[in-house]
Amino acid sequence: MTTREFFIKRWKADRRAFARVLGALPSDKLDYKPHERSTAAGDLAWQIVEEVRALARTNDANELPWEMTARPPTTAGIVAAFEKSADAFEALLASLDDPRWAEQVKFMMDGKVAFESPFDEMYWGFFLDLIHHRGQLSTYIRPMGGKVPSIYGPSGDDPGE
């Protein structure tokens, strides 16, 4: 199995967990913060969506553009945007072959190259950051009055599948 094939396998395995965590956020508490310096739950959820959307927008010039947009006001809107971005990302992943996976990709911010690395390093870096933010967000759910979903196994609220 190549690193590209392994990445796709891990992404597909984790995609459902991302959607479950995002969907577990109570819509009426998206402004919840566990601490004044923490990011609000809705904004943290939107960060996850925006990262997946950026990955999906990697173009034929091997540029991955970053652009934050306003988040939807509801959990349902956040989940719908995640699913749309995840579908687009999976379509892009299906189009990548091993030679392109080794090519350089430029992470673009405000039209300028922020950094550059091979696809595999860029995508794995984003994936690990997504997992990190999902973990942060999962710790918000119970204090918000929600139920923490199963991620890699049972949670205190969800026995898993």
SS (H, E, C) the chain: CCHHHHHHHHHHHHHHHHHHHHHCCCHHHCCCCCCCCCCCHHHHHHHHHHHHHHHHCCCCCCEEEECCCCCCCCHHHHHHHHHHHHHHHHHHHHHCCHHHHCCEEEEEECCEEEEEEEHHHHHHHHHHHHHHHHHHHHHHHCCCCCCCCCCCCCCCCCCCC
In this predicted structure, what is the pLDDT of residue 31?
Answer: 97
In this predicted structure, what is the pLDDT of residue 93?
Answer: 95
* CATH class of the structural domain 3-141: mainly alpha
In this predicted structure, what is the pLDDT of residue 161?
Answer: 75
In this predicted structure, what is the pLDDT of residue 7?
Answer: 97
Annotated domain spans of the chain: 3-141
In this predicted structure, what is the pLDDT of residue 160?
Answer: 85
Q: What is the pTM of this model?
A: 0.95
List phi, psi (to 5°) of 88. -65, -40
Orientation of helix 41-56 relative to helix 75-95, angle to 10°: 20
pLDDT in tens, the chain (161 residues): 999 999 999 999 999 999 999 999 999 999 999 999 999 999 999 999 999 999 999 999 999 999 999 999 999 999 999 999 999 999 999 999 999 999 999 999 999 999 999 999 999 999 999 999 999 999 999 999 999 999 999 999 999 87
Distance separating alpha carbons of residues 48 and 50, to the nearest angstrom: 6
